Chains A and B, each alone.
Chain A
């Protein structure tokens, strides 16, 4: 059923080893790129494939590369964002553990396309095992001339360094990640300039998500058209949907872009746990506005979800059943953003903590009738006024939960208790 590109490797024994990967077309795409394609042909191929940035923003990957100045006298960098941290998202960890060579091959292709001589993989600090696996894979390719000087006998040379984070969600934001890589706190930078012009060490830099890069070998091997045709009009290929929460079979499901959410929940993930009814779904990681159960026929691609008032984001689908207390769920998410706000700019630093306290008070039974309106006001005051998207990410759940599940908040406030048993 369906095409599996990355996750096909999840089921192959020993796929993280070079020999096994080589036996499955491994590094064929690299050879093709280095021997028969110019960097701009590679970029062109990726642009036409409609590959989107799968870290969350959904920006067309090839277009992002094309912003890097071709004639820059400074070195260019490729940075792999493996700082997976969006709640409900767990695909990159599986790629790092199971298909590290697919990622490395993708890195080589992308570095060739943008002319980078050095790559940093910024991997979240908690991922010690994935860091070890990718480290071993890098050793293997170095030993076999897929990495290092004069790769496969060509003029192309590349150095890849693993850089471990140390526990900060904000470093998933591109420029916070760059600051962190430069040895500083993860305080996002003011933009513009964007990293494509002034990035790591003030040099042109492309930052791509793990999954995005891992699709590259397949795109090169089978052509842009094949990949583009898998998805919807402007969303090429498949993506790894991460399903968690109240489903029978939580896990990662690789499906074409645009697969209906209903199919993912009920067919792939086996439906709602305990035959309960569905209440709500967060479709794209914790920052994505929540969908009510009557919205699950939405197609899961960037454009359709945006039209539905939410976001495809990082592909993290959190399913909530009828017994989920929505004020509690929102408090958990808001506490997360308050914990992870970097503290740099005023609205996010102060607003996230404030929203968390108000929600906590509602859960404690001392909510006031004006609280929901006040929460909405705070959220709207954060929206659009911050340095980086974390402010919006914290505000969007608050707004969507309050708009769609107002009755639950009102119940807590008027009855001083939860109307759901057993939370």
Chain B
């Protein structure tokens, strides 16, 4: 455990800690471009040069390990001059056209220039011209003039995905990041290179020129596209409602969680949010009239569903009620479904295990075959009744008329079981309720449609494949008259004579943590930013 002094502050750090890491522990930010904690050390940008006492030359903080008694200065005149020099060199052949660069606002050249810029340009020479705005693949555009050759993207493709798409060709100031001619950058994680590019060289085709970053707001969340549960940041725009045709969710970015996704996320997750602002969102409660859906007030919709359920329950015909919950629902929503339908109303036909969530195979990194974010939560909360039917049996029963009321949450049963079967379900049930975010073949067959919030529109938790409970947060309100599932359940429950006394998602979680063994002792505050593991690990 060497002890190092950085800018007068002492800290003991593990053997092998570099100066840049030790400084971070002291909340001292040393400027850097090529250094990225998730990649090998390149040591090439030279931006992190610092002064180490008893060493004549400045040392790069990203590579130099601290040693016992080392004294480091990160802000002396000599260090500042070196930083100014490096910035001047980097900007030498960099187009200074920030007003038309989409990186503006989150560009590390801009960022550090504010502090270390020379402002009076000494450059009279022509800049080296290189290739601009080249599409590298489905998600990424490259501007080689803006590139500062930090090699982060190249190291990402070499070390993280091991797909080796990018290289630096030529040498000296003619050096250029490039793909092998004819190849494309299309690995399953390539969106990350735009995140780690410190300048406007690699940009995301889905996001570029969609919204200036200073109009964005963000919340922390969890990627819902598979059971890994990558930690993410949701960037959204409400300030410029006309931008991008009213699109609110602008982009997803990975958020560091050492236990789950480190600094990364896959493209499937990154770009899997389009349904949120899609034109087929269900905006109003509706009922079917002459084969068409007609918007109705919530009161009427809830009243219809509640009356139908009440009637069956009152007659003791609970076995004729089927509820299809979802692995895409939060723990809180799943718990409420169990509480209301199973515990209060005695429904046995409740299950979430609709087939179709398994696609492909785990890739050994972040992508898992189980494409639902909360299979583990659904399993732990025991949403299905132990003596009850599974989802397939419920749907079969409904198609045979044995179930009279089928209430489907989020699943497009037509996709899972085929449209014919769902048509039969529709014909042979008295009431088919569909609750979801977007229209689909199942909603088309439904008698009542309830518009639900999408994941960025609500609060709650998901439990990932490993049993890590992680929190999602509301970025913006649901569109139209849509409500979060939780609110719909609360309203239904009060109409069914079994009112919930929850005011917010946290209330539900608190009760669940009290009553469902694996969640014992957990609370929203104990989850923190990176979540925590359920107690029945290894189940």
Contacts and interface: CB of A to CB of B under 8 A. Distances in A.
Complex contact flag A–B (Cβ < 8 Å): yes
Contacts of B45: 345-346
B504 interface: no
B46 A386 contact: yes
Contacts of B93: 350, 353
Contacts of B58: 384-385
Contacts of A354: 89, 92, 123, 125
Nearest to A366: B124
B333 interface: no
Interface string B45-66: 1110100000001101001000
Q: Is the interface of B mostly helix, strand, loop or mixed?
A: loop
Contacts of A374: 122
A331 to B, nearest CB: 14
A293 interface: no
Interface in B9-68: 41, 43-47, 49, 57-58, 60, 63
Interface string B174-189: 1100000000000000
B283 interface: no
A353 B170 CA distance: 14
A334 to B, nearest CB: 12
Interface in B103-129: 122-126, 128
A351 B173 CA distance: 9
B125 A352 contact: no
Nearest to B170: A343
> Which residue of B60, B125, B148 has the most chain A CB atoms within 10 A of its CB atom?
B125
Contacts of A346: 44-47, 86, 89-90, 148-149
A256 B45 CA distance: 43
A349 B149 contact: yes
Interface string A317-346: 000000000000000000000111111111
B90 A343 contact: no
B149 A343 contact: yes
A358 B44 contact: no
B485 interface: no
Contacts of B173: 338, 341, 343, 349-350, 352-353
A361 interface: yes
B85 A345 contact: no
Contacts of B174: 343
A190 B86 CA distance: 18
B85 A347 contact: yes
A345 B89 CA distance: 10
19 contacts: A185-B171, A340-B172, A341-B171, A343-B168, A343-B170, A343-B175, A346-B44, A346-B149, A351-B89, A353-B172, A358-B125, A361-B124, A368-B124, A381-B82, A381-B85, A381-B88, A385-B49, A385-B58, A387-B43
Given A341-B172, A343-B175, A384-B57, 9 more contacts: A185-B171, A190-B41, A343-B171, A345-B43, A346-B149, A347-B86, A358-B125, A361-B124, A381-B89
3 A-B pairs closest in CB distance: A343-B175, A381-B85, A353-B173
